Amino acid sequence: MAEPREIRTRPEPDVARDAEPCAGTEEPAGITVGEVGEDRVLAAVRAVIDAHNAEEPRAAGLALPPGDDAAVLRLASAEAVLSTDTMAEGQDFRLSWWSDPVAAGRAVGQKAAAQNLSDLNAMGAEPLALLVSCTLPADLPLAAVTALPEGLTAACRAPGAGRCVVAGGDLGSGPGLAVTITAVGEPWRPEPSAAARPLRRDGARPGDVLAISGPLGRAAAGLTLIEAGVVAPDARPMRGQSPQEGLLAACAAAQTAPSPDLTSGAAAVRAGATAGLDVSDGLLRDARRLAAASDVALEFDPAALEEEVEPLRRVAETLRRRSQGARPDPRAWVLSGGEDYALLTTFGAAAELPEGFRRLGTVRAHDGAPGVDAGGSEGSSGWDSLSG
């Protein structure tokens, strides 16, 4: 019989098994997925997903719900927008960050959904369905797996994603927890009678304004804070906290359960954005991708970058005080941290930036090769999914 895997302060298995049942199932707390087997894990997962899919307007979009070899989705548009992304234990999160398997499962589910929803948002598309494939170690507590769809469906209830169903998935076993999501969407229209126009990376033109839709560097700061044991992974900003504790909690939340603004893609399309992508691998690395696709140079405004870095200097200061030997670099968090899921966008010079967008710089013609000018920090590499 497989022992439940180490999730920091998890109770001793025999004690846990006599305790309250696992949420949403009749199983004792602490029982593992290997002990209950595929059918019972699937039943627990489906209970959460089916309840989510049954609510209007989502139910109206599912012509055939999960349960057959594939689901059938109703599309209004002639074009679908497709994206996929994997989150793997060790590379994207550590289960050892959490003491509670339910909190761990919820956060992993929310982040896996959020990073995929962010990619659709970055295409100017409305998310309609997710397919969720899970690799589960046999010794993972069932409670963590039941919590996964709770995190997924919570992410789908964010403004901008309200029509998104979970159309199915797959369960398999392997040495580490991994969640792969495929997301399906439809491009937003600038206005009801206009043709759909996905937000691509290749439309930036010299003279355009470069803008960003959300905070930068927080997820990277959160990763450092959590790894140093300075902030708990489930810390969340709350009323009554000091502004500094609230900021530290916002960094933890940005890392473990990001909630990108999923209305920003539609807003960018309506405001006539010329190009856009979401910042997942670091501002400069992703900006270089946009510059290369559009064959332009992106010039960052030093004062605008400083505004992003400034609040994180206070985070770095707390980290230095509370964790001996820590050498945080708040500028590197902003420029190359990654996992921000903010929308980096370009607009024509005359366009009014939509609410929530801040100006970051200017698009210029390049003098030889596309690239970015960030006041001497251009060498910063960002995240590489194979070499870290």
Size of the site for ligand TPS (CB under 6 A): 13
What whole-number distance in Å separates Cα of residue 115 and Cα of residue 87?
A: 9
Closest distance of CB 303 from ligand ATP, Å: 28
Q: Of 161 and 226, which CB lies nearer to Mg ion in the complex structure?
A: 161
Please tell me whether residue 253 adopts helix, strand or coil conformation: helix
Closest distance of CB 280 from ligand TPS, Å: 4
Taking CB under 6 A as the rule, does residue 340 contact ligand ATP? no
Residue 39 annotated in ligand binding: no
Considering only residues 321 through 340, tell me which ones interact with ligand TPS, judged by CB under 6 A: 338-339
Closest C-alpha among 113, 268, 129 to residue 188: 268
Mask of contacts with ligand TPS, 115-154, x by CB under 6 A? x---------------------------------------
Q: Of 119 and 150, which CB lies nearer to ligand ATP in the complex structure?
A: 119
In 162-271, the DSSP E strands lie at: 165-173, 178-187, 209-212
168 backbone φψ class: left, alpha, beta (φ>0; ψ -120 to 50)? left
Considering only residues 128 through 157, tell me which ones interact with ligand ATP, judged by CB under 6 A: none
Q: Of 186 and 339, which CB lies nearer to ligand TPS in the complex structure?
A: 339
- Whether residue 212 contacts residue 357, with contact meaning beta carbons closer than 8 Å, is answered with yes
- Terminal-to-terminal C-alpha distance of the chain: 35
Q: Does the N-terminal peptide bond of residue 192 adopt cis geometry, omega within 30 degrees of 0?
A: no
What whole-number distance in Å separates Cα of residue 150 and Cα of residue 111?
A: 11
Residue 68 annotated in ligand binding: no
Q: Of 85 and 308, which CB lies nearer to ligand ATP in the complex structure?
A: 85
Considering only residues 81 through 100, tell me which ones interact with ligand ATP, judged by CB under 6 A: 85
Please tell me whether residue 205 adopts helix, strand or coil conformation: coil
Positions touching Mg ion (CB under 5 A) are 119, 278
Q: Which residues are annotated as a binding site for substrate?
A: 92, 339, 383
Q: Which residues are annotated as a binding site?
A: 69, 83-85, 92, 119, 169-170, 201, 278, 280-281, 339, 383
